[in-house]
Amino acid sequence: MLRRTFLAAVGRAVPGASAAILLPSIADAGQALSKARLIARSARPEDLETPVHLLTSWITPNDLFYVRSHFYTPSIEPGAWTLRIDGDVDHPIELTLGDIRRLPSTTRVVTLECAGNGRALFDPPVAGVQWERGAVGTAAWTGVRLADVLRRAGVRASARYLWLDGADRGMGRAPDFVRSLPIDKAMQTDTVLAYEMNGEVLPMAHGFPLRAMVPGWEGAYSVKWLTHIQASAQDHDGPFVQAGYRYPRRPIPPGTLVPASETVPLRALPVKSLITSPANNASVDGATVRISGFAWAGEEDVARVDVSTDGGRTWSPARLGRDRARYAWRQFEHVWRPAGSGSYLVLSRATDRRGESQPIIGEWNPAGYAWNAIDRVRIDVGA
Ligand SMILES: Nc1nc2c(c(=O)[nH]1)N[C@H]1C(S)=C(S)[C@@H](COP(=O)(O)O)O[C@H]1N2
Ligand SMILES: [Mo]
């Protein structure tokens, strides 16, 4: 706590603080974060899922925030780190952390969700990290607007995509993780390069010292450990753009493949809800049961959440929490009076402002992306 306060004081009271004073402390804070309560889907590289019953607040604490890394976490020497911006720009530039911290800062509360969240729920099963329901979280991200940085480099009208690359490297012969961000989304004022997460220096696992935060879109656009932005008239031709993070153009039979030419890139997250309390398979007592969780809808606002305790025969509107931000989830709560003891299936269904609702069955696709079926927990209500 003391160190946190100290860092905050140094970072804010001395905006022009020299790199020599600021950076060793940043490096130190970038390392330390205990993720002991998360479920390791893979220990190295780190793919860590949040047990959803621990998601109790609108803002997810850093030590509970899920981690998705394709490759080993790179080691970063903050004094040597730079961000290069080149390609279709008038003046290629290279910025230090100090340069970036001196630009006007902005803070956005954004929900980040992995495209593969819920993959383990698809039937037939699909290969990939077997995320259940907890590859999602919400944080306050502080940094600079990507558009401000692009303007400094004089991004040209011919640029249609930004190729975002981080300091991590493919393992063995695996290709580098590079993502391609359409220029319109990059220029929106809500798209930021973040160096703080919930008021702390961005933790190592989450992309220290700088990551993209592309709000409302599936998590893989939010490239961590960012070192290079290349503006281009063309889409990137690497496998994380041309093969991964794509979805069938038309619905396909479950268990079949689809050629890449019949797929489109995933972008905005679909409408979705998550019951966090009671926990799945929990036993509860008492005359009332508080059913609560979160709902989000990518670039749309959540309009309502309904809860059913009778297998979807009847639905009751949940109350939405007051905390809100353009690209952040809403908390919901419904107080239920069970008619008697027994085993119950509790369902939640969110609807966005366009009227899109969650489907009963998740739409099967070969990589198991964008699971957004009506959420469910089984609970045992005691006498
Ligand atoms: N450089 C880099 N950035 C990355 C990734 C990665 O493997 N390497 N994973 C992406 C994916 S798939 C997701 S879902 C988010 C996860 O961010 P988090 O680990 O901070 O939760 O980071 C994205 N950014
Ligand atoms: Mo992801």
Per-residue pLDDT of the chain (383 residues; tens, 9 = 90+): 333 433 333 333 333 333 433 443 444 445 557 899 999 999 999 999 999 999 999 999 999 999 999 999 999 999 999 999 999 999 999 999 999 999 999 999 999 999 999 999 999 999 999 999 999 999 999 999 999 999 999 999 999 999 999 999 988 889 999 999 999 999 999 999 999 999 999 999 999 999 999 999 999 999 999 999 999 999 999 999 999 999 999 999 999 999 999 999 999 999 999 999 999 999 999 899 999 999 999 999 999 999 999 999 999 999 999 999 999 999 999 999 999 999 999 999 999 999 999 999 999 999 999 999 999 999 999 97
Residues with CB under 5 A from ligand 2 (ion): 68, 114, 219-220
CA 144 to CA 156: how far, in whole Å?
A: 20
CA of 219 to the centre of ligand 1 (A): 6
d(CA 225, CA 82): 10
Which residue puts its alpha carbon closest to atom 10 of ligand 1? 220
Q: Please give the domain boundaries of the chain with CATH numbers for all domains.
A: 2-244 (3.90.420.10), 272-381 (2.60.40.650)
Q: Tell whether the torsion through CA atoms of 149, 300, 331 and 115 is positive or negative.
A: negative
**Sign of the CA dihedral running 241, 243, 249, 254:** negative
Distance between CA atoms of 208 and 23, rounded to whole angstroms? 12
157-179 b/e (C-beta count within 10 Å ≥ 16 → b) = eebebbbbbbbbeeeeeeeebbb
Which residue reads 């010292």 in tokens? 209
Residue 112 Cβ < 6 Å to ligand 1? yes
**What single DSSP character describes residue 289?**
E
Q: Is 35 in the pocket of ligand 1 (CB under 6 A)?
A: no
- Closest C-alpha to 173, from 71, 288, 276, 302: 71
Q: Can you spell out the DSSP letters for 157-219?
A: TT--EEEEEES---STTPPP-EEEEEHHHHHSTT-EEEEEETTEEPPGGGTTT-EEE-TTB-G
Contact 236, 161 (CB under 8 A): yes
**Token representation of residue 222:** 């939010």
Backbone angles phi, psi at 2, to 5 degrees: -60, -45
Q: What is the pLDDT of residue 33?
A: 77
Q: Residue 116 C-alpha to ligand 2 middle, in angstroms? A: 6
Among all ligands shown, which has an atom nearest to the Cα of 168? 1
Q: What are the residues whose beta carbons fall under 8 Å from the beta carbon of 64, sequence distance 6 or more?
A: 37, 38, 50, 54, 55, 137
For residue 167 and ligand 1, the question of a CB distance below 6 A is answered with no
Instruction: Determine the distance separating the centroid of ligand 1 and the alpha carbon of 43, expressed in angstroms.
Output: 15
Strand partners, 181: 162
Q: Cβ-count burial of 205 within 10 angstroms (0-12 exposed, 13-18 middle, 19+ buried)?
A: buried
How far does the centroid of ligand 1 lie from the alpha carbon of residue 360, in Å? 29
Q: Is the CB of 114 under 6 A from ligand 1?
A: yes
Buried/exposed 270-289: b ≥16 CB within 10 Å, e otherwise: bbbbbbbbbebeeebeeeeb
pLDDT in the model for residue 83: 98
Which pLDDT score is estimated for 133? 98
In this prediction, residue 30 carries a pLDDT of 56
DSSP 268: B
Sequence-ordered list of residues with C-beta below 8 angstroms from that of 86, at least 6 positions apart, any chain = 92, 93, 153, 228, 229, 230, 231
- Ligand 1 pocket test, pick from 68, 178, 197 with the greatest ligand atom count within 8 Å of Cβ, gives 68
Model pLDDT, residue 5: 35
280 contacts 293 by C-beta, under 8 angstroms:
no
pLDDT computed for residue 282 by the predictor: 98
State whether the Cα torsion 110-195-154-180 is positive or negative: negative
208, two tokens: 């220290």
Task: Please give the single-letter amino acid code of residue 89.
Answer: V
Quote the CA–CA distance of 96 and 87 in Å, as a whole number.
19
